[in-house]
Amino acid sequence: MHSIKLGAKPPALEPWGTIADLGATIVEGDVFVFGLTHHGDAHTPVSAGYFACTKGKFDMTYPFDEHATVIDGECRLTRRDTGQSVHYKAGDSWFIEKGAPISWQILSDTFTKHYLALA
């Protein structure tokens, strides 16, 4: 069992390089990423874990369906094909479907989410 509590620090996260290393296009900043997968991996149909990054902007097309909850920090996600834009902060959640073109703007110095991804 993995307990995810608002305000509680996640376990130590591993450096994963930059968001560009994960297939996104950096628009502003370096956007270094960190994470910890506690179920599955990039090669399994279902994975779950923590994802964190530093301040900046990047674009990506979602390679999976994702449900996520913000643990720390703030971001603005904008769906590029519709213009829909939503501001998220700690405790907020979203569901994004595979193939959605999303622009990320990390508003805080760091941002952490917990995710469940379905390939």
Per-domain boundaries in the chain: 32-118
7 pLDDT above the threshold of 80: no
Task: State CA 97 to chain mean position distance.
Answer: 13
Q: Evaluate if pTM is beyond 0.85.
A: yes
**Coil vs helix vs strand at 66:** strand
CATH number of 32-118: 2.60.120.10
Q: Distance (Å, rounded) from C-alpha 55 to C-alpha 19?
A: 11
Other C-beta atoms within 10 Å of 106: how many? 22
Q: What does the CA dihedral 26, 92, 101, 55 come to, rounded to 10 degrees?
A: -10
Q: Rounded mean pLDDT of 46-60?
A: 97
The pLDDT, as a whole number, for residue 62 is 95
